[in-house]
Amino acid sequence: MPKGVYIRTKPIWNKGLTKETDIRIYNLTKSSKNKKISEEQRKKISASLSKYYQENPDKNEGLAMRMKKWRKENPLKAKEGYKKLSEYMKKTYRNEKRKPPMLGKISWNKGIHLSKEHKQKISKARIGIKFSEEHKGKISESLKGEKNPCYGKHLSKEHKEKLSQFHKGKFLSEETRNKIRLGNRGKVVSKESREIMSKSKMGMKRGDMNEEHKRKISLGNRGKNHTKEWIDNWREARKGFKHSEETIIKISGENNHGWLGGKSFEPYGLEFNRALKEQIRKRDSYRCQQCFRHQDELIHKLKNGKLQKYKLHIHHIDYNKKNNNSNNLISLCNPCHIQTNFKRENWINYFKDKMEEK
């Protein structure tokens, strides 16, 4: 019952009041039907109602609250009721081919947007509600393939732009990210899904991305390192994998994102000989200056599967093959030397600082 004066023009049917109060309120309001009520009469009615609800606070509940309590107290009966209702709807709208009452009509809430407070209330009310696995399975099957209302539909460019603008500046919290990770853990993508994804990405290249998009990806991946387990799994998955000749042509030479104008084919200076290399290794105590492994520990696996020892590589700090000054040369093992092919500016500054410390 709302606060203030509430005048009834009809007898109360199931508001939880007793018959005596029904008759009393009805008698008060019967005489005032289609007539102006004085302030005194209004005060009397409001006082009688407020007094009754003060004495009986349990009765001052809406229908929705009472239904909610009843569902909690009688969960089995509630389930049976839902089943009966669903069966009745199936019979009336499917078997008898009757149209639903709202079909072709504009819904009452079209164009109405919920406020932030309203959304927060809904989210709070739904906390702790979890669907059973059976219910989840039914939902997923009901939305599979052609049953899905979005099946075969594609978003327009305007719609995509609106979505991108709406999501700009929004970031998922760490809790949400962890939930997504845990939810996707152990899930295996089917071959059909992979084929669909590959078809959707056909023709897309990293070069097609704008500079802002590339910058966002680089910032997002900054500081992230793969675990040993991830690296081992990736290596096992890539075992025996070979690129086709077409792919090799596509990713080699000028087509490669790391192409620097053919610097690797430039000849070394005459001073860069075995004696100079050995001198640099001796200066660095025959240790890699990045991982500090000794030269005796370095083993290389050949294509035939045999293991072979190798000497430390001598790296040009400024990547100029003709600058063979001892301050521009440093000893590195094979894995560490491969890393220097990426983010060259960072490596130049890193090794220059290292040489100054010496």
Domain boundary among 99, 116, 149: 99
Are both 33 and 72 inside the same structural domain? Answer: no
Torsion of CA 133, 134, 140, 146, to 10 degrees: 170
Q: Closest Cα partner for 79 from 68, 91, 71?
A: 71
Task: Give the CA dihedral 308, 313, 319, 322, nearest 10 degrees.
Answer: -110
Residue where a domain stops, chosen among 76, 99, 122: 99
- Per-residue pLDDT tens over the stretch 130-157: 888 888 888 888 888 888 888 888 888 8
What is the CA angle 258-260-266, rounded to 5?
Answer: 130
b or e along 238-257 (b: 16 or more beta carbons within 10 Å of the residue's beta carbon)?
eeeeeeeeeeeeeeeeeeee
Domain shared by 303 and 284, yes or no: yes
Distance CA 309, CA 259 (A): 30
Answer whether 0.75 is exceeded by the pTM: no
- Tens of pLDDT, residue by residue over 105-115, are 677 777 778 88
Greater model confidence, 260 or 330:
330
pLDDT given for residue 206 in this prediction: 56
Q: How many domains does the chain have?
A: 3
Q: Is 92 in the same domain as 34?
A: no
Range in 95-109, 113-127, 181-195 with the lowest mean pLDDT: 95-109
Assess if residue 351 is contained within a domain: yes
Strand partners, 313: 332
Same domain, 38 and 94: no
Tokens of 323: 């600058």
User: Which is higher by pLDDT, 273 or 67?
Assistant: 273
Q: Of 9, 31, 60, which residue is a domain's last?
A: 60
Separation CA 326–CA 355 (nearest Å): 10
Q: Is residue 207 assigned to a domain? A: no
> Quick one: 23 and 74 in the same domain?
no
Neighbours of 16 (CB within 10 A): 14
**pLDDT category of residue 188 using cuts at 50, 70 and 90:** confident
27 and 73 housed in the same domain: no
Could you identify the residue written with the tokens 């019952």?
Answer: 1
Q: Are residues 55 and 85 in the same domain?
A: no
With respect to residue 333, please indicate whether it lies within any of the assigned structural domains: yes
Examine residue 78 and state whether it is found in any structural domain, yes or no.
yes
Q: Report in angstroms the alpha-carbon separations of 186 from 109, 168, 182, 189.
A: 41, 31, 9, 10
Kindly state whether residues 316 and 285 are assigned to the same domain: yes
Q: Are 300 and 307 in contact (CB under 8 A)?
A: yes
User: Is the residue at 264 inside a domain?
Assistant: no
340 occurs within a structural domain: yes
User: Do residues 27 and 89 share a domain?
Assistant: no
| Count of beta carbons in the 10 Å neighbourhood of residue 315 | 19
Q: Quote the CA–CA distance of 344 and 197 in Å, as a whole number.
A: 34
Q: Are residues 23 and 94 in the same domain?
A: no
Range of the domain at 84: 65-99
Same domain, 351 and 294: yes
Instruction: Tell whether 173 is covered by a domain.
Output: no
Contact assessment for residue 271 and residue 326, using Cβ atoms and an 8 Å cutoff: no
Residue 329 lies in a domain: yes
